Chain A
Amino acid sequence: MTPLLEVQDLHVWFEDAAGNEIAAVRGVDLEIDAADRVGLVGESGCGKSTTILAIMGLLPSNATVAGRVLLDGEEILAGGDRTIRPHRWRDIAMVFQGAMNAFNPVRPIGVQIADAVQIRGGRTRKEAAERARELLELVGIPRERAGGFPHQFSGGMRQRAAIALALACEPRILLADEPTTALDVMVQAQIMLLLEHLCSEQGLALLLVSHDLSLVLDLCPRMNVMYAGEIIERGPSDALADTPTHPYTRLMFAATPDIFDESPLASIPGAPPSLDREIVGCPFQPRCDRAFERCVNETPVLKHSQEEQEAACHLNDLGRKASPDSSPANRTTGVRNGAA
């Protein structure tokens, strides 16, 4: 069966002011079906936001994109804006980081959503206004508030309204880029519940981009971990948490604090490689606590590691585990002094 959205071997290069080429995304594959909730996690600069901007066709002009994006099996990336535009917002919509601050401050929220509803066409102004009220209700804002201005809404309500805005053209896929970063934990929990509800009730497909592993673990049954522009591990979220097959995944989970786990937190020494030159060997090798000779010279590819998981790590070829045993001491193997 053809997946709803498929990304194949996506590459994105940026050219900086000095004329250097930066390979921000290096061969990413993704698949999302209706009602799926898929997570894309990684640290700043790993290419996760660039990936979804490329899917939306919203990259700046200094970016070069290669690869395929298939919607219902139809390639939409090759023709550039001409082929993406008919699908943008109508089939694939996006909630930007800080979207709650993107409303026009001098127009009522409901009117701004109605504007977006009319883009799809086929509705009178009055019908569009009614649809806007329905959308607000869908995200948990009373319809009477449609006439309110952005400053009369709290941060959490503005973020809900931003989600309603993204849903205005009835998309089938929602790409959410750190949708709760600026919000408080209680509001974050409310928004996560809303997204879960939209997927299960409305059949919306969600790609959640976040730096927060535990958030993705909570909301998305499947996750992809990105590092230096590549997906280095993917599979069922619980499996990645319990039995990671890439040391980076293991260390990232071990670096994420948990209220009820008192074992010490890991810290990963060093920093991700710079992407303006070719990476020889495994991109994580300089920071890896399990690296060996082969990692220095040979770049691992993403392949089956165990059960439903895939990872790009040579350890899996040797039948060695990314974590040698499950004792808590391993949590701290990445902790080393030195510059963070």
Chain B
Amino acid sequence: MALLEVEDLRRYYGRGRTLSEVVARRHAPPVRAVDDVSFELHKGEMLALVGESGCGKTTTAQTVLRLNSPTAGTISFAEQDITKLHHRELRPLRRRMQIVYQDPYESLNPRYRVWQTLVEPLEIHGLGGSHAERRELALEALRRVELQPAERFLDRYPHELSGGQRQRVAIAAALIVGPELLVADEPVSMLDVSVRAGVMGLLKRLCRDDEVGILMITHDLPLAAHFADRIAVMYLGRIVEIGGARQVLRDPRHPYTRALRDVAPRRGRERAERAQILKGEPANASAIPAGCRFHPRCPRAEDVCSRTDVGLTHVEGGPANHEAACLFANEIRND
């Protein structure tokens, strides 16, 4: 049984009418930020939700955590349907699902010392009992995020810490309550390159050693390739390809995944000849193209693509968990 099961999730936002819509007396179509997304996340697994800005990856994560209410679909967390739970009913579950935000310069209260940041979640969830016990838990959490010696960090303010150290404190504040699910929203994109691997390695160990399921949101495909177990590529509110991280990148079956992979800057000299750079930018989420939503930018679109909206299907010759949403998924392989 999966830790998290998301089925046909949709999250639409209403918006005001533009002037031209008012003049033409038309309704404002909603912004379809998340438009029919399904996936599972298992214990001890890191799933990366990859895509460009505006593709709905952050909305998906917020909705999964019920920081946002879904328009349609179901979300099950630890075998419990949480789609429609009232926020009061969600409270006891909050301890079990935590989030780490992108920017540790903004997510930490600048007037809290490290121990205050760490003790606050304990107080909210009524954990830890006495002051001394909570202090002990805070020290333990700092050790787990490798801020050593932990005692020295307790009394510091965020401005006394480097970016990498701040993000470690933010992670400590999330894991101190013992979550089973952790959403990491661009956890290292604000950090210097030299400390990114350290923070990502820490998240990876949380998966492996503590069996935490991590949903990582990122625009950085190479980073996802290095650390995630599976990758889900999103485009305009939908997952267009999902599968094992290395598998998806070695053998991408959706032209969008392939294009993303091929434009990623390479470290080695053997970098591929300049790949096809897609023209333009994704359409507006309130005017999603008919048929396959990627077809206006797709290098291999045919007429049929503008009429057929194809869902995720298993790709021929790939492992059971490799799925792509493209009519030509089985031909792309032979390109």
B199 contacts across to A, CB distance below 8 A: 340
Stretch at the interface among A75-83, A124-132, A182-190, A302-310: A182-190
Residue of B nearest to A263 (CB): B226
Which chain B residue shows the least CB distance to A43?
Answer: B192
Residues 222-236 (chain B) with a chain A CB within 8 angstroms: 222-223, 225-226
Q: How far is the CA of A225 from the CA of B146 in the complex (A)?
A: 29
Which of B8-16, B79-87, B255-263 is near enough to bind chain A?
B255-263
B90 partner residues in chain A, CB cutoff 8 A = none
Contact A184 B219 (CB under 8 A): yes
Q: Is the beta-carbon distance between A185 and B197 smaller than 8 angstroms? A: no
A61 interface residue, CB < 8 Å from B? no
Instruction: Report the separation of the CA atoms of residues A188 and B192 in the bound assembly, to the nearest whole angstrom.
Output: 19
Residue in B164, B266, B268, B281 whose CB lies within 8 Å of A186 = B281
B128-179 CB contacts (< 8 Å) to partner A: 146-148, 162-165, 168
Nearest residue (CB) in B for A268 is: B194
List B contacts of A255 (CB < 8 A).
193-194, 196-197
Question: Chain A contacts of B278 at CB under 8 A?
Answer: 186
Chain A residues, CB < 8 A from B281 = 154-156, 184, 186-187
B267 touching A185, Cβ below 8 Å: no
Q: Does B22 touch A at the CB level, under 8 Å?
A: no
Mark out the residues of chain A between 41 and 76 whose CB falls within 8 Å of any chain B CB in the assembled complex. Answer: 43-44
Contacts of A199 in B (CB 8 A): none
Q: Please name all residues of chain B whose beta carbon is closer than 8 Å to the beta carbon of A340 when the two chains form the complex.
A: 146, 162, 164-165, 168, 191, 195, 198-199
Chain B residues near A269 (CB-CB < 8 A): 198
Q: How far is the CA of A43 from the CA of B265 in the complex (A)?
A: 18
Kindly identify, within residues 262 to 321 of chain A, every residue whose CB is under 8 Å from any CB belonging to chain B. Answer: 262, 264-269, 271
What is the 8 Å Cβ interface bit string for chain A, positions 202-216, against chain B (1 contact, 0 not)?
Answer: 000000000111110
A19: chain B residues at CB < 8 Å are: none
Instruction: Note all chain A residues with C-beta closer than 8 A to B246.
Output: 262
Assess the A213–B162 pair: CB atoms within 8 A.
no
Q: List the one stretch of A22-30, A86-94, A162-170, A331-339 in contact with chain B.
A: A331-339
Judge whether B146 and A337 touch: CB under 8 Å.
yes
Q: How far is the CA of A252 from the CA of B266 in the complex (A)?
A: 13
- Tell yes or no: B271 within 8 A of A by CB: yes
CB distance from B106 to the nearest CB of A (A): 16
* Residues 28 to 57 of chain B near chain A (Cβ within 8 Å): 52-53
A residues near B148, Cβ cutoff 8 Å? 337-339
Q: Are A257 and B192 in contact (CB under 8 A)?
A: no
Residues in B whose Cβ lies below 8 Å from that of A17: none
- Please, how many angstroms separate the alpha-carbon atoms of A337 and B197 in the complex? 11
- Asked if B288 is an interface residue, CB under 8 A from chain A, the answer is no
Which of B198, B201, B265 lies in contact with A212, CB distance below 8 A? B265
Interface presence of B19 (CB below 8 A): no
In the complex with contacts A185-B219, A257-B222, A259-B222, A213-B193 CB distance below 8 A:
yes
- Known pairs A214-B266, A338-B146 / 13 extra A-B pairs, C-beta < 8 Å: A154-B281, A184-B219, A186-B277, A190-B277, A211-B193, A214-B222, A217-B271, A241-B267, A256-B193, A257-B225, A265-B197, A266-B197, A337-B148
- Partner-B contacts on A (CB < 8 A): 43-44, 154-156, 184-190, 193, 211-215, 217-218, 238, 241-242, 251-253, 255-262, 264-269, 271, 335, 337-340
- Report the 10 A-B pairs with minimum CB-CB distance, sorted nearest first: A340-B164, A214-B265, A267-B198, A265-B197, A340-B195, A257-B222, A267-B197, A258-B267, A268-B194, A340-B198
Q: List 6 A-B contacts (CB under 8 A).
A: A186-B259, A257-B220, A265-B200, A337-B148, A340-B164, A340-B165
